[in-house]
Chain A
Amino acid sequence: MIQTIRNYGLILARPGPVFYILMWLMVLLVAGTVAQKYIGLYRAQDLFFSSYILWLGPVPLPGGIVTLGAFTVSLLAKMIFASPWTWRNAGSLVTHAGALLLLLGGLLTFVHAEEGNMVIYEGESADFYSSYHDRELVVEDQETGGKVASFAWKDLAPGAALPLPEVKGLRLQAVKFCRNCAFVPRTEKEDDPALAELRGRARNFDITPAPLEKEDESNRSAIQFRVSGADDKDEDGIHFSTDFIDVSPAITVGGKTYNIALRKVRTALPFSIKLVNFEKEVYPGTNTPKSYQSEVVLKEGKTEWHSLIRMNEPLRYRGYTFYQSSFIDSGENEATVLAVVKNAGRMFPYIASIVMCIGLLIHMAMYLPSLIRRMGGAAKVVVFAAMLGAMVSGGAGFARAADALDYAAFSRMPVLDQGRVKPLDTFARSYLETFNGRDSLQGMDAPAWLAEMMFNPGEGYNRPVFNIANPAVVDAMELERRPGHRYSYREVATSFAVHYKDWQDLLGAPESELTLAQRQLSELFDKIRLYADISRTLSLTFPDFTVPEGPLAKAFGVEPGTVMSYMQLRGYRDAIAVIVEPVFAKSEDETLELTPQEQAVIDFSLKFNQIGRDRMSKTLLLIPPQWHEKSGMADGKTANLWYSPWNITFFGQGSPESEQYLETWGKAVQAYRDKDAEGWATLTGEIDGMALKMAGDKVSPKMLDLEVYFNNWKPFEISLAFYLGAFLAVMASLLICPVWLRRVSFGLLLAGLAFHMAGIGVRMAIMERPPVSNLYESIVFVGFIVVLVGSFLEARLKNRMGLIIASSIGVLLHFLGIRFDADGDTMGMLVAVLNTNFWLATHVVTITTGYGICLVAGVIGHIYLVRRFFRPRDEEALRALYRNMQGVVYVALFFGALGTILGGIWADQSWGRFWGWDPKENGALLIVLWLVWLLHGKLSGKMGALGFSAGLACTNIIVAMAWFGVNLLSVGLHSYGFTQNAAATFIGFCGIELVVVLGLYAAIRVKEAGKGEALA
C-alpha cells in the first residue's frame, strides 16, 4: 500500500507534470490579465483565477484553483518522495518548501479570509464592516436595529418564498432582482391597475437587468419582493429595495416593526472604532495627496486605545487589520474609508518568502563561486584619464549664453515646481525641454533662455524654440516648413491668433476624439499659453512705463520721462482713471483731434490696463510662503504653498519681505536689459539670498547646488559615451588586438559604470528617496544592473560576452532613458501609497534588479543561438555558455521571486491583501513562472540546450511585457504613465525579438537536421 502511494507520488513529483502545469498557469495568467481590460478585475479574477473550471464555450478547462492545486500536490509529492537529503540538494529543497508554504498560505487565505470596508464619519463610530461584493436581503428589528433574518444573494430565486420562521405571520417572496439594475421610472397613472400591487418606491421605479459594470463596486443591485401577513393590509404587496441608496421598507407584524433592506453583507466586529479626526495632506501647489491619516479610538468593553492609522501603517487587533484605504470629503464632513481584513494565512507569505530566499541563496552559493580578477595596467591609465576628463568637463559646463552675463546665482535660485523645491536651473531645463525637445539651445543654456524670454521678449519671442516636427501641423498653421522644425513664440502665437476661431472647438475637445495632428495642435496651444504664462511671471516689476509729460507726471510726482513699473504705479490706479476718462471721451468724438500729449496718455493707460492680464501668470512659483496662517481664501490653502509674483497679492499673502524681494527683481531686470554684468550678478545673488532666507531651513542651498551641478554634469550622458566606447572597443577587439582592446573596453565599461552609479547616487541625495520610483528611474536602474552583472560575468569568464551584453544594453537603455527624460522633470513627486522609502528601497529595487538580470540572461540566450548557428563546431564554448546561462537564470529567478514576494508584502501592508491579481503583479509573476518553467523544462528533459536558450532569449519579451506591456492595459494600481509612441516601440520590440529568436531556432533546427548533427 505504502509502496503504491510512493510510486504514484514519484510520478507526480517528476519535473514533467510541473512543466505542463506551469505552462497552463502562464496561459491563465496572461489571459486573465488581458481580460481585466475588458471585463474588469473582479470578474476576470472570478473567471480565471478563483475558479475551479474555466469554461471555454462547452470545453471545460482547469481553472486557477485546480491548476494551483495540482501544482501544490506535485510540489508536495516532490518534497515527500523525491528529494534526496544531500547538501547538494539542500537549496532546492528549502526553496520548494518555501513555495509550498506560500501556496498553502494562499489556500488558507482563499478559504478563510474575510475582507470588506468601513466608512466612518468624523465623530462617529462603527462596529461592523461591509463586504465589497456580497449582497444580502436583511430583516431588521426597527427598534433595536438587530438583524432578525438574512438571505444571501445567491440563495434568492425569482418567485421563491423566503423562509422566515423568526417572524410569525410574515411571508416574503422574491419577485425579481438583478445584480446590476437599470431604474426605469414608471409612467402609469396613479390608479392604473398595473400599480395596484406595488407599494412605496416600487410605485416610482421598475427595475430591469443592465449589463454588468467592469468594476463590481459600480453595480447597483436591487430587488422587488412580495410581503404578506402585515398588520396593516396596505403594507402587503410588492416592495422595492436597493443597495445603491438606502431604501428599506418598514413592515409591522404582530405590533412589531421590521425594516427589510438589500445591502452589502455586514459583518459585526467584537469591538468598535470611532473616528476622532481625519487629516489629509497634499503636495504644495498640487492635488497629489501626500499622506492621509485617521486618528481613531478602538473600544472594547471598557478598554480604549487611541491609535493612528496611516498609509502603510495599519492598525492590527485580534486578527483584524485596518488599513487606510480612502476617504470621503463632502465639503462639510470628512469620512475615512478603512479596508478591513481578517486573514489567518497572513503570516505565510512572510515566512515563505524568507524560506524561499534562503533556499535560492544556498543554491546559488553552490553554483556560482565568485572571483573577480583585476584588469590590466595599460587599460587602467586610459580609463583613469578619460574619467578625469569627464569630471572636469562637468564642472566647467556652467550656463553658457550668448551674452556675458553670469547665470550662476540665477540658476541656483529656489522655486517650487510640481510639488518640489528645485533650482531655477531645473525649472528652466524641464520647460525648455517641453517646448523644444532638448534642454538647451544652440549656444544658449536653459537659464539664459529663461532670462531672455522673460526679460527681453523682443529677442526671446523671436527665438525659434517650439519644436513642430509634424508637417501636417506646420501646414495647418500656415508656417513655412524648415529644417530643424523650430519656430518662435511670435510665429506660433500669431498663427493661433489668426486661426483661433476655426480651431476653437478642436482645442477644447477630448483627446480621444482627435487625430494625431489635431492632438499635437491642441498640445501646442497649451504650450503657447504656458510659455506666455512663464514669460510674464515678473512683468509687474518690469520698468516698462515711461511717464509722459503732463497730468500723469504731475499725479505721480515724478519728472516726465521717468521709467516706472506696474508695482510702482498700482497705487495710482484711480488717479490714472480720472485723468484718462476725459481724454477717452474726446477720442471717441471724431471731430476733435488729440494732441500728442493726450495720445501719450491714452497709450500709457492702455499699456497699464493690458498688463493686468498677466495676473493669471501662475506657473513659476518664485516666492516662498510668507505667513503660516491659512490664507482666508475660500480654498483654504495653507502657507505650504509658494507663490508666483502675480498671485501672491491675489491670495493676500504679500509681506514687507516679498515687496523687497520683488523690488530687487525689478532692479535685476533693469540690469539685465542694460547688459550690466556686474549689477546683474550682484542683484541675482541678492535675490537668491533673500529667497533662501524666506524659504527657511526646509530648503538646503547645498542640495540646490548639487542639483545644478548634476544638471550640468549629466553623468548618464557621460556614462552613455563610455558604454558606447566600450562597445566599439569590444567589437574592434574581435578583429584586432584582442587582448589589449578587451582590456580597454572593460575599463571604459567600468568607468561608465562609475558615472552611472554616481548619477544614481546624486539623484537619490537630491530626492531623498531610493533609486527607483518611476518608469524613467527604473530604466536607468535596470541599465545599471545589467552593466554591473555584465562586468561581473566578464571579470569571471574573460570571454568578451559580459562586455558585449553590458555595453550594448547599457547604451540602449541610456538612449531609452534620454527619450523619457524629454518629457520634462524626471524628479516628480509620488502619490501617497508610493511615498514610503522602505518599500521603494526593497521591493522596487529588487524587482528592477530582477528585470536587469533577466535581460542579461536573455542576451546570453541570443548569443548562444547566434554562436550555435555560425560556429556549431565549437562545442566546448557552447557548453560553457550553456552552463553560464543556467547560473544567470538562478540569479534572475532569485531577484524576480524575491521582488515579487516583497511586492506582495508591501501590498499586504498597504491594502491588506498579499495578492490581488493586479496586472503588474501578474507581470512579475509571469517572469518568475517563465524562468521556473524553463528550469523545469531543462530538468525534465523536455527542452534541450537549444530549446532552453531560445526560451531564455524570449525572456526579453516577457520582461518587456511585465515592465511596459501591462501599462498598455491601463488598469490597476501600477499604471505609471505611458505614451502612444512607447506602445508602438513596445510592440515593435516584441515582434522583432520573436521573429529573430524563432528564426534562429528554426534555422538551427533545419541546419542541424540537414547535417545529421545532434548536440546535447
Chain B
Amino acid sequence: MMKPQFLIIGATVLLCGLAAAYDMVSGPQAVMVADEAVLSPVKGASDGAVVPDFAVTDLKGVSHHISDYRGRVVLLNFWATWCAPCLQEFPSMVSLVKAMEGRAVLLAVAMNEHESDVTQFLAKVGAANVPGVVVGLDAEGKISHGLFMTERFPETIIVAPDGTMARKVVGGIEWDAPDMLDYLKGLSKP
C-alpha cells in the first residue's frame, strides 16, 4: 500500500512541475510604459506663480510695467553687454518676437551702468526700433537681483499671457528654433 508521505511528495512535485510549466509557456508580462510619478521632476515653487510687478524705464525714458503686457507672452530677459552668451542669444530673441507677430514681447533688463554700451549694441544687431522689443537699464540690479534673484546671466523667464511664470531658461539658447516658437504659440493661445 502506498504510504501517505508519497502522496505529499507526489503532490508537491506535481505542483512544482505545473508551476515550472506555466512559467515556460506564459507570455511576457505587459507593463505599460513610463511611470510619470517615478521619473518626472517635481514642480518647482515658482512654476505657475504670478510674476511680481515692476517698472523699468526704456532708453527713451518711457516707463513700462510688466503688467502692461497681460495678454501677450513676455520674455523677461536678464542680461548685460559684458556677458558674451547674452549678446550671442539676443538677436535670436528679437527674431522670435518678430515671428510671434505681436503676440510676444521681449522685456530685456540690462544690468549695465552705461546706456551707451546698450544703445551701441542694439544698433549693431538692428534691434533698436523693433516693435515688441523693450530694453531698460537696471544698473544696480534692483530688478535682476533684488526682485528675481538672477545672477547667472543670461536668465530668461517666460511669462504666460495671464501673468504667470511658465518656465525659466538659464544660459544662452537659440530662441528662434521651431520648438521654442511652437511652445510660445501654444502659450499664447487663449
Chain A residues in contact with chain B, CB under 8 A?
79, 83, 85, 93-94, 97, 100-101, 105, 276, 279, 281, 291, 293, 295, 298, 305-308, 313, 315-319, 344-348, 350-351, 355, 567-568, 570-572, 574-575, 624-629, 631-633, 638-640, 648-659, 662, 693-696, 698
Contact = CB atoms under 8 A, between A and B. Distances in A.
B149 A656 contact: yes
Contacts of B39: 279, 281, 293
Nearest to B153: A652
B16 A347 contact: yes
A171 B49 CA distance: 76
Given A347-B19, A652-B150, A698-B42, A627 B47 contact: yes
A652 B41 contact: no
A655 B20 contact: no
Contact of B24 (A279, A319, A351, A640): A319
A220 B39 CA distance: 38
Given A279-B39, A306-B32, A652-B152, 9 more contacts: A101-B13, A319-B23, A355-B12, A571-B141, A632-B170, A640-B42, A649-B151, A656-B49, A659-B149
A313 B31 contact: yes
B45 A101 contact: no
A5 to B, nearest CB: 15
A351 B152 CA distance: 61
Interface string B49-63: 101100000000000
A322 to B, nearest CB: 9
Which of B41, B145, B148 has the largest count of A CB atoms less than 10 A from its CB?
Answer: B41
A534 B12 CA distance: 62
A570 B147 CA distance: 13
B116 interface: no
A571 B168 contact: no
B3 interface: yes
Contacts of A298: 28
Interface string B1-40: 0011100110011011001100111111111111100110
Contact of A658 (B28, B111, B142, B149): B149
A361 to B, nearest CB: 15
Given A97-B9, A571-B140, A698-B42, A316 B29 contact: yes
B19 A628 contact: no
A661 B111 CA distance: 23
Contacts of B144: 571
29 contacts: A100-B9, A306-B32, A315-B29, A347-B20, A348-B16, A355-B12, A625-B45, A627-B167, A628-B167, A629-B169, A629-B170, A631-B170, A632-B171, A633-B170, A638-B41, A639-B44, A648-B149, A649-B151, A651-B170, A652-B150, A653-B168, A655-B49, A655-B149, A655-B168, A656-B49, A656-B52, A658-B46, A696-B42, A696-B43
A97 B12 contact: yes
Nearest to B172: A632
B51 A656 contact: yes
B46 A626 contact: yes
B113 interface: yes
A108 to B, nearest CB: 9
Contact of B147 (A293, A317, A653, A659): A659
A659 B45 contact: no
B176 interface: no
A624 B29 contact: no
B178 interface: no
A974 B123 CA distance: 66
Contacts of A694: 45
A574 B113 contact: yes
B186 interface: no
A627 B49 CA distance: 11
B61 to A, nearest CB: 20
A742 B39 CA distance: 56
A344 B25 CA distance: 12
Contacts of B28: 298, 305, 307, 315-317
